[in-house]
Structure 1
Amino acid sequence: MEKMIFCILALTLIAVALGADQRCSNKYYVDDECGADESPIDQIFHFNSDSHKCYEADICDVNSKSKYFSSREDCQRECDAREDSEEGGVGLED
């Protein structure tokens, strides 16, 4: 019985890891995406793992666009991000 529970737990963890959207772990650095002499060509949304929120940003290279999200809603859904109005507390009430 213990082996069965361990196997189910292991398979669940593997499924979660494989199902995670890679775009949620991409770091956005403004200097990496837009140089001083470049003009933004589009806007994207990126996930910040420190704040657990999605932010809008400019992008200057069309090839980099696939690393990020095209809408805030997609970013929030795929990365399980907090809404703008949510505070960064521990989620416990008195």
Structure 2
Amino acid sequence: MLKFAQDRYSVTFQMHAKIDVNGSNAHPLYTFIKAEKPGLLGTKAIKWNFTKFLVDRQGKVIERFAPKTTPKSLSAQIEGLLAQRA
């Protein structure tokens, strides 16, 4: 999986173990963030890789983004959250 991500997407960040994000074995973190910010038409399932969630320092889920949303396009929102005091 790491080689695929490196070859296909030029990933340079550390990757961890594969986990379930949907279904009865979904990791509790994903169960929580999907419930806080459902997708289109209220769907909670993550439909595709690279769905993104923006979470503030207090653990509040701010927004859910489609897989096609680039990390760079989120820079201003991320920087705004980081500028807020904890």
| Greater RCO, CA 8 A, separation 6+ | 1
Question: Under a length normalisation based on structure 2, what TM-score does the superposition of the two structures give?
Answer: 0.26
Larger radius of gyration: 1
TM-score, normalised relative to structure 1: 0.25
